[in-house]
With several copies, the nearest count.
Chain A
């Protein structure tokens, strides 16, 4: 399962979806907004998603993880909208009979989500500048900010 949410991620509720009497191991990952990135002081972030395809691709990734590793349950929830420092941007949880598969599947999901799911992140900096992560070098300097 993969979900997008404009609200703070409710990890307690998400975790409860993974409970299973036969599960002995549970691994979760959280992505937190850091106060800096590539040497720049970050003040806040905006996440924007192409929701329909993001959910489709996210669901594909979770299905792939389940096919590769014999896990009981797996879920990923990604936040969209405006986030402050230390907010949780993404959550992945996996339960499995033994711990190895839960670690592997959780890692697989977050790695693939970061590379494949159409979600974009705009960082706002202490300097007043801002930029779309992974697009900064592509864009004419200042261009994105001027139109933003």
Chain B
């Protein structure tokens, strides 16, 4: 399944890119993060993050579909 991943803040720096398209066997955001954390050496644990699919907050166990756009959201610090 082919997915689009966008990276922000610390994850963007650790991934060394703002986005990528990925062919993945991951069925859920949880599985996808584990795969990407291993590849990019992410230092944030999944429990510290939220996840968005197609620009809306999502459950980690949601079934991903081809073409979905996924964003992992590090602890925010607006204001």
Contacts and interface: CB of A to CB of B under 8 A. Distances in A.
**Direct contact, A vs B (beta carbon within 8 Å):** yes
A147 B10 CA distance: 9
A47 B9 CA distance: 9
Given A50-B52, A120-B10, A138 B16 contact: no
B76 A118 contact: yes
Interface in A92-126: 110, 113-122
A132 B10 contact: yes
Contacts of B43: 138-140, 143-144
B79 A56 contact: no
Contacts of A35: none
Interface residues of B, number: 24
Nearest to A140: B43
Contacts of A144: 10, 13-14, 43
B44 interface: yes
Q: Which of A117, A135, A139 has the most CB of B within 10 A?
A: A135
Contacts of B6: 50
15 contacts: A49-B78, A50-B6, A50-B52, A52-B55, A53-B55, A114-B79, A117-B78, A118-B8, A118-B52, A132-B74, A134-B76, A135-B44, A135-B77, A138-B45, A148-B13
Nearest first, the 4 closest Cβ-Cβ pairs linking A and B are A119-B78, A120-B9, A134-B75, A133-B77
